[in-house]
Amino acid sequence: MVIDMNPILKPNNLTIGEQVVFPLFCNCPGNSYSDRGIKYLVTYVWQPGDDLLSVSNMFQASALDIDVENNNRNFTAAICLPVLIPVNSSPVLQQHFPPCPIGKKSKHHWLLIAILSTVVALLIVLSGVLVYIHLLYKKKRALARNDSSLETSDLIPTKKVSKDEIFEQKAIQDKLLPGVSGYLGKPIIYELHVIMKATMNLNERCRIGGSVYKATINDQKVNHANLVKLMGVSSDNDGNFFIVYEYAENGSLDKWLSPKSLSTSGTGEYLTWSQRLFIALDVANGIQYMHEHTQPSVVHKDIRTSNILLDSTFKAKISNFSTSRPATCSIMLKVDVFSFGVVLLELLSGKKVMEAKDNGEVVMLWKEIRGILKDDDRREERLRRWMDPNLKNSYPIEGASKLGNLGKSMHIR
pLDDT for res 1? 64
pLDDT for res 382? 94
pLDDT for res 215? 60
Q: Residues 4, 302, 375, 376: which is the catalytic one?
A: 302
pLDDT (tens digit per residue) in 211-264? 555 565 544 455 688 988 765 555 556 765 555 566 788 989 999 997 554 444
The predicted model gives 127-149 an average pLDDT of 64
Q: How far apart are CA 72 and CA 214, in angstroms?
A: 54
Residue 321 has pLDDT above 90, yes or no: no
pLDDT for res 233? 55
Residues 6 or more apart whose CB falls under 8 angstroms from that of 281 comprise 23, 25
The predicted model gives 317-339 an average pLDDT of 90
Question: Among this protein's residues, is 302 annotated catalytic?
Answer: yes
The predicted model gives 123-144 an average pLDDT of 73
Residue 83 has pLDDT above 60, yes or no: yes
Instruction: Please check whether residue 212 is in contact with residue 177, taking contact to mean a CB–CB distance below 8 angstroms.
Output: yes
Nearest to 306 by CA among 328, 327, 322: 322
pLDDT for res 80? 80
Residue 162 has pLDDT above 50, yes or no: no
CA 386 to chain centre: 28
Torsion of CA 160, 165, 171, 174, to 10 degrees: -90
The predicted model gives 267-271 an average pLDDT of 75
Question: Residue type at 195?
Answer: I
By mean pLDDT, which of 114-123, 132-141, 312-321 is the weakest? 132-141
pLDDT (tens digit per residue) in 23-57? 776 777 777 777 778 888 888 888 888 888 888 88
Instruction: Return the top range by mean pLDDT from 118-132, 324-338, 359-373.
Output: 324-338
Ramachandran assignment for 225, one of left (phi > 0), alpha (psi -120 to 50 degrees), beta (any other): alpha
Name the pLDDT band for 204 (thresholds 50, 70, 90). Answer: confident
Instruction: Please check whether residue 182 is in contact with residue 176, taking contact to mean a CB–CB distance below 8 angstroms.
Output: yes
Name the pLDDT band for 364 (thresholds 50, 70, 90). Answer: confident
HSE-up of residue 31 (Cα within 13 Å, Cβ side)? 2
pLDDT for res 213? 58
Computed over every residue of the chain, the mean pLDDT equals 75
- One-letter-per-residue 3-state SS of the chain: CHHHHCCCCCCCCCCCCCCCCCCCCCCCCCHHHHCCCCCEEEEEECCCCCCHHHHHHHHCCCHHHHHHHCCCCCHHHHCCCEEEEEECCCCCCCCCCCCCCCCCCCCCHHHHHHHHHHHHHHHHHHHHHHHHHHHHHHHHHHHHCCCCCCCCCCCCCCCCCCCCCCCCCCCCCCCCCCCCCCCCCCCCCCCHHHHHHHCCCCCHHHEEECCEECCCCCCCCCCCCCECCEEEEEECCCCCEEEEECCCCCCEHHHHHCHHHHHHHCCCCCCCHHHHHHHHHHHHHHHHHHHHCCCCCEECCCCCHHHEEECCCCCEEECCCCCCEECCCHHHHHHHHHHHHHHHHHHHHCCCCEEECCCCCEEEHHHHHHHHCCCCCCHHHHHHHHCCHHHCCCCCHHHHHHHHHHHHHCCCC
Residue 348 has pLDDT above 50, yes or no: yes
pLDDT for res 383? 94
Look at 130 and 317; give whichever has higher pLDDT. Answer: 317
Residue 118 has pLDDT above 70, yes or no: yes
The total number of residues shown for the chain amounts to 413
pLDDT for res 160? 44
Domains within the chain, CATH numbers bracketed: 2-11+22-87 (3.10.350), 142-246 (no CATH), 253-409 (1.10.510.10)
pLDDT for res 200? 83
Residue 271 has pLDDT above 50, yes or no: yes
By mean pLDDT, which of 151-160, 222-231, 366-375 is the weakest? 151-160
